[in-house]
Amino acid sequence: MYTPEQLERRNASRWTRVQIILAPIQFLVFLISFYLVIRYLMTGEGYVITTISVWLKIALIWALTITGMWWEHDVYGHYFMAPEFFWEDLGNLIAILTHNAYFVVQWLQWDDRSVMLVMLFAYITYLINAAQFVSKGARSLLHRRAVRRAQEQTQIEAAS
């Protein structure tokens, strides 16, 4: 949840808008790439297009991580691991590390199937972290609505 000051800073940050735009784009690329990875693992077909989708997904997770750090600084005064955002940052750290394991296994010259299994694992970590973000966002929205209703009720009672 946000304090009123943090909510004001969140709403004023240009990085909030960037995150709102990039997050669904990344999720769409994730869905496509996830499908392509599964298809490749099941059929052995489409390695090149799957690889391109993986590169795009990795670029987007980095873009969201970097702009998210600037957002976090605007809202909480920390670039990473602000106490209020610790679990989201930890989940993102795990997801970005697993995504970048792609480059390590490529460098180690693992076979194509093993590389895609690494990406499947990376995508599962991303999905868990995305669920965490959605859950926190939903809880925050419900909390803000409850506070707003309580304030309105207090105003109605005061006017009576």
Q: What is the pLDDT of residue 153?
A: 83
d(CA 31, CA 130): 12
Residues 31-43 pLDDT 10s: 999 999 999 999 9
Instruction: Quote the pLDDT of residue 151.
Output: 80
Assigned domain for 146 exists: no
Residue 140 pLDDT: 75
Domain tally, the chain: 1
Tell me, yes or no, whether 140 lies in a domain: no
Q: Is residue 36 part of a domain?
A: yes
CA-only gyration radius of the chain, Å: 20
Q: What is this structure's pTM?
A: 0.83
Is 68 a member of any domain? yes
Q: 97: domain range?
A: 4-133
The answer as to whether 24 is a domain residue is yes
Flag whether 46 is in a domain. yes
Residues in contact with 6: Cβ distance below 8 Å, sequence separation at least 6, in sequence order: 75, 76, 84
